[in-house]
């Protein structure tokens, strides 16, 4: 890539425009924390510049720079509508600097809540995967049970898992265990169904090729059928994971004492919309982070497929 292609980008112009808008006088009567917004924008720009110097693939760099450009536009527009011209209700729409400031202020509390949410997800999700995959392999591999199980799975996976919450509350001692239980159900059925359809779809020629190598029963399941159905299993996991976040935050908003759903619900009950918006954005970042991690693992395990 030429220097021009690397560094001469519209996003950098947008960054400068964003900085210039911050020189305008503040009209909002609430504190707007302009310095936090500027620090954040400079931080983002530094990351983009560092990446521009390091990233080798032109498309990846273009993508990153474009995303940064959008963020600068969004922050600029948000700042103009709130801090600079005061078009919006300052109670409902805090200035961007204020949200960033709130995040820094609340970082310990947010960290505790994120940790609690992630722990719940991990417990429910991994428990479900650990049970659903071997069970799906065994049942899918025995042809007769497989077709019966497909119908039963269809029935149970058609029940939206959120309706289990009230029953879970009656059934289980703590709200945390209810969340784990509901996430377990939400992940179990799609992963189980995915594993079974993966097993049923394994190419007969692959199975023949394993048979002539005289592989044992367990080896057939875990070294042949499992990798051959991995893509379908991941489809189920993806579905389970995205539903899990919806369920977890819903459950946390109902009656929890911690977690990100609790954070958002609690502060919006008190009319603290700065914290509400901070919470929403943090949840967005956490979900993106987890999804990214998950996709990385998936690509690594499926790299033999082109």
By the criterion CB under 8 A, which residues form the site for other proteins? 203, 205-206, 208-215, 224, 227-228, 230, 303-306
Q: How far apart are CA 188 and CA 82, in angstroms?
A: 45
Q: How far apart are CA 53 and CA 30, in angstroms?
A: 40
Q: Could you tell me the smallest distance in angstroms from the CB atom of residue 224 to other proteins? A: 7
Q: Could you tell me the smallest distance in angstroms from the CB atom of residue 232 to other proteins? A: 14
Compare residues 110 and 224 and give the one whose CB is closer to other proteins. Answer: 224
Mark residue 235 as left, alpha or beta (left: phi above 0; alpha: psi -120 to 50; beta: remaining): alpha
Q: Could you tell me the smallest distance in angstroms from the CB atom of residue 215 to other proteins? A: 7
Compare residues 141 and 267 and give the one whose CB is closer to other proteins. Answer: 141
Compare residues 205 and 217 and give the one whose CB is closer to other proteins. Answer: 205
Compare residues 58 and 208 and give the one whose CB is closer to other proteins. Answer: 208
Compare residues 25 and 216 and give the one whose CB is closer to other proteins. Answer: 216
Give residue 100's Cα distance to chain centre.
21
Question: Which residues 6+ apart lie within 8 Å of 244 measured at CB?
Answer: 121, 124, 125, 183, 186, 187
What is the three-state SS of 115-165?
Answer: HHHHHHHHHHHHHHHHHHHHHHHHHHHCHHHHHHHHHHHHHHHCCCHHHHH
Residue 11 near residue 65, CB atoms below 8 Å? yes
Q: Could you tell me the smallest distance in angstroms from the CB atom of residue 237 to other proteins? A: 17
Q: Could you tell me the smallest distance in angstroms from the CB atom of residue 210 to other proteins? A: 8
Residue that has been written with the tokens 């809540």 in this structure = 113
Q: Could you tell me the smallest distance in angstroms from the CB atom of residue 231 to other proteins? A: 10
Cβ count near 38 (within 10 Å)? 15
Compare residues 139 and 202 and give the one whose CB is closer to other proteins. Answer: 202
């Amino acid at each position: 890539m030429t220097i021009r292609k690397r560094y001469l980008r519209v996003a950098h112009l947008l960054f400068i425009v964003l900085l210039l808008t911050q020189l305008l006088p503040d009209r909002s009567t609430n504190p707007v924390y302009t310095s936090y917004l500027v620090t954040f924008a400079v931080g983002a720009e530094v990351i983009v510049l560092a990446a521009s110097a390091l990233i080798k693939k032109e498309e990846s760099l273009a993508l990153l720079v474009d995303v940064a450009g959008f963020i600068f536009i969004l922050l600029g527009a948000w700042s103009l509508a709130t801090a600079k011209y005061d078009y919006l209700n300052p109670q409902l729409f805090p200035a961007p600097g204020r949200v960033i400031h709130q995040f820094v202020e609340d970082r310990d509390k947010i960290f505790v809540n994120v940790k609690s949410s992630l722990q719940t997800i991990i417990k429910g999700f991994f428990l479900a995967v650990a049970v659903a995959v071997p069970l799906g392999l065994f049942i899918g591999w025995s042809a007769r049970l497989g077709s019966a199980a497909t119908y039963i799975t269809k029935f149970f996976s058609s029940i939206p898992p959120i309706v289990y919450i009230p029953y879970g509350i009656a059934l289980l001692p703590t709200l945390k265990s209810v969340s784990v239980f509901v996430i377990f159900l939400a992940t179990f059925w799609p992963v189980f169904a995915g594993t079974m359809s993966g097993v049923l779809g394994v190419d007969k020629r692959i199975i023949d090729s394993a048979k002539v190598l005289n592989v044992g029963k367990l080896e057939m399941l875990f070294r042949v059928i499992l990798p051959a159905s991995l893509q379908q299993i991941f489809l189920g996991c993806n579905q389970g994971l995205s539903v899990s976040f919806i369920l977890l935050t819903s459950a946390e908003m109902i009656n929890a004492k911690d977690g990100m759903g609790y954070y958002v619900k609690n502060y919006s009950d008190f009319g603290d919309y700065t914290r509400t918006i901070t919470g929403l954005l943090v949840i967005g970042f956490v979900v993106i982070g987890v999804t990214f991690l998950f996709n990385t693992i998936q690509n690594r395990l499926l790299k033999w497929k082109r």
